[in-house]
Amino acid sequence: MKYKILLVEDEADLGNVVKQYLELMDFEVDWQQNGRIALDVFEKTPEAYHILLIDVNLPGLNGFELAEQVVKTNNNVPFLFLTARGEKTDRLNGLKIGADDYVVKPFDVDELVLRIRNIIKRKQPAVPTEQSQQSIISIGTNKLYVDSLKLITETGEEIILTPRECDLLILFFHNVNRVIKREEILNKVWGSNDYFVGRSLDVFISRFRKYFQHNSNISIKNVYGIGFVFNVK
């Protein structure tokens, strides 16, 4: 099976090199040089791509604007940013939108390929069994439907999670009232432990607190310098 990549890069020389190398590595690459055109292409077949590589400085729509629209169209497709901008605020902005990685130019193409393969591998569903297809985890009146990435809250609200949100919530649901170290969470859910994925974890925790804000029996508490506790009364 060939994995299909949407590459959005306006620098002709770099885009051509990355496209050719990825094709040598047996990927199928659709290369666009304008953010608006790339969005139009993506919206026509939002399920066709396994990953998007998005430059930040693009004509039409910048990379952040493009990514926000991509998430609205299909929040299951992973994407990473390719950019010359290394500022911390830009990286955090990208992670808040939902980026799986952030690669600063100049970069090693072999390293890029490795990151792409790792991201796609994490996103691929496990071979389903009869039991896993019906996997439902309950905490009080809250139900997590693992196969459909759906959370039903105490108030009956239906929330569609991203795959990584679902992975993190499964970890919490299986470790109720236990201190979970940040390092354990990052390694199990993100597969790495660095500053930027750590900040992404903090964003996810804030989202979860909003999801459960009407349930007085559930809270997520920081254990300073150690990690978090998913408390259930």
Per the model's pLDDT, the better-predicted residue between 102 and 222 turns out to be 222
Alpha-carbon distance of 36 to 3, in angstroms, equals: 23
pLDDT at 44: 93
Alpha-carbon distance of 39 to 155, in angstroms, equals: 35
Mean pLDDT of all residues in 165-187: 89
pLDDT at 133: 43
Tokens 């607190």, residue located:
209
Per the model's pLDDT, the better-predicted residue between 15 and 108 turns out to be 15
- Residue 86 binned pLDDT confidence (cut-offs 50, 70, 90): low
pLDDT at 4: 93
Tokens 């693992």, residue located:
146
Number of residues assigned to the chain: 233
Number of Cβ atoms within 10 Å of the Cβ of 35: 25
For residue 195, pLDDT beyond 80: no
pLDDT digits (tens, 9 = 90+) for 17-67: 999 999 988 899 999 999 999 999 999 999 899 999 999 999 999 999 999
Name the pairing type of β-strands 158-160 and 28-32. unpaired
Alpha-carbon distance of 138 to 162, in angstroms, equals: 18
DSSP at 227: E
Task: State the virtual CA torsion across 37, 86, 193, 125 in degrees, nearest 10.
Answer: 10
Per the model's pLDDT, the better-predicted residue between 77 and 193 turns out to be 77
Q: Which alpha helices (H) appear in the chain, and where do they start and end?
A: 12-24, 35-44, 63-73, 88-97, 109-123, 130-133, 163-173, 182-185, 195-211
Per the model's pLDDT, the better-predicted residue between 221 and 216 turns out to be 221
Mean pLDDT of all residues in 75-99: 82
Domains and CATH numbers, the chain: 4-123 (3.40.50.2300), 130-232 (1.10.10.10)
Contacting residues for 231 by C-beta, under 8 A, at least 6 apart: 176, 177, 218, 219, 220, 221
DSSP at 147: T
pLDDT at 9: 96
pLDDT at 85: 67
